[in-house]
Structures are given as C-alpha cells and as structure tokens.
Amino acid sequence: MRHAGWWTATMVMMGVLSGCGGGGSSRPAVLTIGVVPKGSTHEHWKRVKVGAEKAAAEFTAAGTAVEVIWKGPLREDDREQQVQVVEGFISQGIAGLVLSPLDSSALRRPVEEAFAAGIPTVIFDSALATPNPTISYVSTDNGKGGRLAGRRMGELLGGKGVVLMLRYQEGSAATEEREQGFLDALREEFPAVEVISSDQYAGPTRDTAKRAAENLLNRFGDRVTGIYTPNESSTGGMLLALQDIGKAGVVKFVGFDYSSSFVGPLQRGEIHGFVAQHPVNMGYLSVKTVVEHLQGKAVPKVVDTGVIMVTADNLADASVQAVINPPEAR
C-alpha cells in the first residue's frame, strides 16, 4: 500500500526530472487537486471554489504549480454521483483530494480507496464518519453556529414562544451539528421556549424546502412565533413560504448561510438574522492544507474557518462585510 508521503517524494522527483534535458527548458510538475463539493448550485459552493482557486494561484505564483479541478454533483442528495466523482479522481491519479461529503458514512469507503492509492484527503465543510484516514478537517464550528442561532432566537422572543426547526437532510453531518446546537442553546438558555416541531426535512433544493415549509406552516402557522433553518436552501425555501402567506417579518426567522438574496429580506425585517460561514476561507485553507501536506509539512487535524451572526444592525460592519462580501468573491 502506498501512503500519502509517497506522493510528496514522487512529485519532488518529477520536478527534478522535468528540469533535465529538453534543450535546457524547465517545467515544474503540477500538483493536481480534485475538489469535490456537496453540490454545484448554492452560492456557498461557488464561494468555496473562489477560495480554492485563490490558494492554487498563490502556490503557483510562489513556484509550486497547483491545479484545482472542481467537480461535484448537481443535487445535494445525489450520494452515488459524488461517490463516482471521487472514484473518477482516484482513477486519474490526482495528487490530493478535497471533499465535502454529502453523507458522513457513504463517502468513507471512497476516501479509504483514495488513501490506498496514495492520495491524501482533506475533508471540508461537513465531517466524515470516523475512523477514517483523512489528514485534516477544515470547517466552520457548526455546533457553535447552531448555538449562535439558538441564542439569537431566544433573545428575539424574549425568552418565551413557540418555535419550529426545519431540518436540512439526513446524513449531512454539518447541518445535524447546526440543528443540535440550536436545540441545545434553547434548552439550556431559554427553557421557556417550546420547540413544536423539529423532525421534518427540507431536502436538497430551495423548491423542496419551500414545499416542506408550506406543510409545516399549514400545521403550525397559527401557533409558531419563531422559525430556524440550518442552510442556504432551507432558509431560501422557508422565506418564500412565509412571503406567500404574508407572515414574512411577523414570525421571527433565523437562518444559516449567506446568500445575496437574503440581504434585502434582512434589511426589511423578513429575516431576523442568519449565521454566516466563511466559504472563501474554507476553500482556500482546504487546498492550502492538502498542498502543504504533499510538501511534507505538518498540518493541523482540525482547521476552524470561522462563523458569525449577521443581523440588520451589524450588516454594514467591515468585519461582517469581509466575510459575506469578500473582495475575492465580487
């Protein structure tokens, strides 16, 4: 079995050989990094791609040629397609893999296959079930983000009210942590807040989320005073459902993930806060970590990419704009 260090030695040797012969020309070997997001449509993933490409460009400019190949499933519920993407990268003989697993268990086997092929893997955004042979986990502290949302909700409701949470999708470790963090914060800090529903799932798209939200609002709309959604598509779908029945701004609504389409509703008071990750930073640090590992450097097992609560009151702050509207993503 080859191990990840094999690639480092091989790439160094290739770099030496590429400078020999050929009329004295020297062309450095390229480290090809396969980056596999959960999906391709959400704004979150597009910003992760910006960060990944930024890291590759910086390494290349500094003398280590790095190429990022970005490929993921179209839908965030297509586990089989994501497995096929990873297996395809393995067969191509990439130097390193950066993966956000759609399912914490289903993606473990292809990651083990990558390890057996000498391809090191960095997991980002959403955890992979353990034990696994990955070299690092680059992510938001999702539990902390969920707690920020729970604390915001409790404060908005003045410590009492009736809340529902629309979950995202079974098997998604990141959103499960956000959901649990939200519930934990309410239970520990605002025990008078009643959670009336927390077992329904939005599914992978804004449209599936809107349908699930409509069902919940039909059942609980007359009682609910607060709503939480744990990712971009569930937040977008819930917002549309609330707007359709004239309750946007009436019910306290806290979401998760930034989308440019949420800024107007935030300013109008239809969304009362959303937790923002730093996806550009996530993509950048994921590629940086796997390349430094290939260079033989020690890398941390866990890299925290940061999380903040965005409200109408702090939206214009420079520190918030640096996260939700970084120069690289404009």
pLDDT digits (tens, 9 = 90+) for 53-96: 999 999 999 999 999 999 999 888 899 999 999 999 999 999 99
Taking residues 206-211, report their average pLDDT.
97
Please report the pLDDT score of residue 181 as a whole number.
98
Look at phi and psi of residue 35 and say left if phi exceeds 0, alpha if psi is from -120 to 50, else beta.
Answer: beta
The reported pLDDT for the residue numbered 40 is 83
At 12, the pLDDT band (50, 70, 90 cuts) reads very low
pLDDT at residue 47 in the model:
93
pLDDT (mean) for 167-193: 96
The alpha carbons of the chain give a radius of gyration, in whole angstroms, of 21
User: Which DSSP letter does residue 30 get?
Assistant: P
pLDDT exceeds cutoff 70 at 197: yes
pLDDT band at 5 (very low <50, low <70, confident <90, very high): very low
Strand 274-277 relative to strand 307-310, pairing: antiparallel
CB contact set of 74 (below 8 Å; sequence gap of 6+): 39, 40, 41, 81
| pLDDT attached to residue 3 | 42
Give the model's pLDDT for residue 6.
Answer: 40
pLDDT over 90 (residue 33): yes
Q: Where are the alpha helices (DSSP H) in 62-172?
A: 79-92, 108-116, 142-156
Cβ-contact 124, 136 below 8 angstroms: no
- The predicted pLDDT at position 147 comes to 98
Can you give the pLDDT at residue 28?
A: 60
What is the rounded (10 degree) CA torsion for 320, 272, 274, 177?
140
Q: What would the pLDDT profile of 220-261 be if each residue is shown by its tens digit?
A: 999 999 999 999 999 999 999 999 999 999 999 999 999 999
Of 27-36, 185-194, 291-300, minimum mean pLDDT range: 27-36
pLDDT of residue 301: 97
Range among 5-9, 23-27, 103-107 with highest mean pLDDT value: 103-107
For residue 329, the model assigns a pLDDT of 79
Q: What percent of the chain is modeled with pLDDT above 70?
A: 92
Q: Over 60: is that where the pLDDT of 185 sits?
A: yes
